[in-house]
Amino acid sequence: MGACHVGRRSTPFPFFHARRRIGEAIDRRNAPPPADATAEKDESSQGLHLPENIRWERLDKARFFVVGAGLFSAVSAALYPAVVLKTRLQVAPAPAAAGTAAPPPSAAAAATAILRQEGPLAFYRGFATFLAGTIPARALYMGALEATRSAVGPAELSLGAAEPAASAAAGAVAGLAAAVAAQVVWTPVDVISQRLTVQGNPCPASRYHGGLDAFRKIVASDGLRGLYRGFGMSILTYDPSNAVWWATYSLSQKIIWSGIVCYLCDYGVGVQEIDLGDGDYLLQPGCKTVMVVQGVSAAMAGGASAFVTMPLDTIKTRMQVMDGDGEPITMGRTVRRLIKEGELAACYRGLGPRWASMLLSATTMITTYEFLKRLSDKGQESDLA
């Protein structure tokens, strides 16, 4: 669903095919449907053609990665405060044992406290380290995602799978592969940036004084294993999250298109006419229409993924940033501690900021990503000619 360009290579949408002149379709925006639809038919054929997905082999790799680094760095900067707030809530100390203990702070209260006590720059603590690791990690992610999706999708179709099922399966497998590739680089960066995030305002007595200092101290005390603390949980968190996200994203687009395709064709809303010559023509969704569908699908996918994987993300964050009090940091010990603090509700502490972050991130990232793919399409100029 990546391209908004026009051309003859577009694939007809399977849910609808009609024979109708474009002028008549657009006129129906201001007129009721005719009693006899067959009166509209003539020798010209028309259908709604969705832009094809831009495959890996069609991408200009240099432009894809260089431009992508700049675009996603800007998006990450805009969304980073929500990441900081989510992390602070996840590792907030448990309420006192007294029966009158106050509940954990809300997201709004925590944000207000950070702003008053530490200032606005606290919402960007650890961002330099975060960004330094994001660029190579995202390059690995995008490369693995597109290469895997371009290989799995056609393979599923060749085995006789239905197109929606093949698309969802390709998205899920590609999401898994991309998550594993990215975590090799991302986990050490995540460990360092989150430790900087939760330590509060740096001062002479602070444990870490910047990303390099944190790197040296973690390696000195725990070795390289310290940088990969929570790696297993990261894989368990981000693999299902990415599989759910990309599968849901693919299916959501199919559902949305099937629900609005007749409206678009019948009333000519959000579509453009493509003249194929010799009296032949077709309708294709405009770029704005495609972006809206992609954005709504991404929001649905982000919400589903955030809710399903929130407990795993909380456990992963705890393992990465909290001290073990002289005992090994294990998944079982972390889970028992969370249950002791607040049972299942403790696993969903910080859900609001994470849900909002993933919703905004999913919508912004996917529209940026699809735009990047259009910019990087080797065949863009010929298709637009």
Residue 316 lies in domain: 11-30+54-94+103-384
Task: Classify the C-alpha dihedral 120-124-128-131 as positive or negative.
Answer: negative
Q: Is residue 371 part of a domain?
A: yes
pLDDT at 3: 39
- Tell which wins on pLDDT, 160 or 350: 160
pLDDT at 201: 58
* CA gap 192, 218 in Å, rounded: 8
**Number of CB atoms found within 10 A of residue 288's CB:** 10
Contact 307, 351 (CB under 8 A): yes
For the chain, what is the mean pLDDT? 75
pLDDT at 343: 63
Q: Is residue 238 part of a domain?
A: yes
- pLDDT tens sequence across 96-136: 544 445 566 777 888 888 888 888 888 888 788 888 888 88
Q: Which residues of 115-140 are buried (b: 16+ CB within 10 A; e: fewer)?
A: eeeeeeebbebbbebbbebbbbbbbb
Contact 72, 80 (CB under 8 A): no
Q: Is residue 375 part of a domain?
A: yes
Residues of the chain above pLDDT 70, percent: 76
Q: What is the DSSP string of 4-32?
A: ----TTPEEPTT--B---HHHHHHGGGSP
Give the domain CATH number at 206: 1.50.40.10
Q: How many domains does the chain have?
A: 1
Residues 314-335 have a mean pLDDT of 73
- pLDDT tens sequence across 209-220: 778 888 888 888
pLDDT at 326: 63
- Tell which wins on pLDDT, 173 or 42: 173
Q: What angle do CA 173, 175, 179 make, to 5 degrees?
A: 120
- pLDDT tens sequence across 204-249: 556 777 788 888 888 888 888 888 887 877 787 778 888 888 888 8
- pLDDT tens sequence across 45-55: 345 677 677 88
- pLDDT tens sequence across 61-73: 888 888 888 888 8
Radius of gyration of the chain (CA): 25
End-to-end distance of the chain based on CA atoms, in angstroms?
20
Residue 91 has pLDDT above 70, yes or no: yes
**Polymer length in residues for the chain:** 385
Classify 34 as helix, strand or coil.
Answer: coil
Classify 59 as helix, strand or coil.
Answer: strand
Residue 368 has pLDDT above 80, yes or no: yes
* CA gap 349, 92 in Å, rounded: 9
Q: 25-34, 248-257, 295-304 — which is least confidently predicted?
A: 25-34
Residue 36 has pLDDT above 50, yes or no: no
- Token pair of 136 as six digits: 């190579």
Q: How many CA atoms lie within 13 A of 4 on its CB side?
A: 19
pLDDT at 324: 58
Q: Is residue 60 part of a domain?
A: yes
* CA gap 190, 192 in Å, rounded: 6
- Tell which wins on pLDDT, 7 or 310: 310
* Angle separating helix axes 61-90 and 287-321, nearest 10 degrees: 50
Q: Is residue 116 part of a domain?
A: yes
How many whole angstroms from its chain centre is CA 26? 35
Alpha helices of the chain — where are they, by DSSP H? 22-27, 61-90, 107-118, 127-158, 163-198, 211-222, 224-227, 231-267, 287-321, 331-347, 351-375, 380-384
The predicted model scores a pTM of 0.62
β-pair type (280-285, 11-12)? unpaired
* CA gap 252, 254 in Å, rounded: 5
**Phi-psi bin for 230: left (phi > 0), alpha (psi -120 to 50), beta?**
left
- pLDDT tens sequence across 249-275: 888 888 888 888 777 777 777 777 777
- pLDDT tens sequence across 155-173: 888 888 888 788 888 888 9
Q: Is residue 40 part of a domain?
A: no
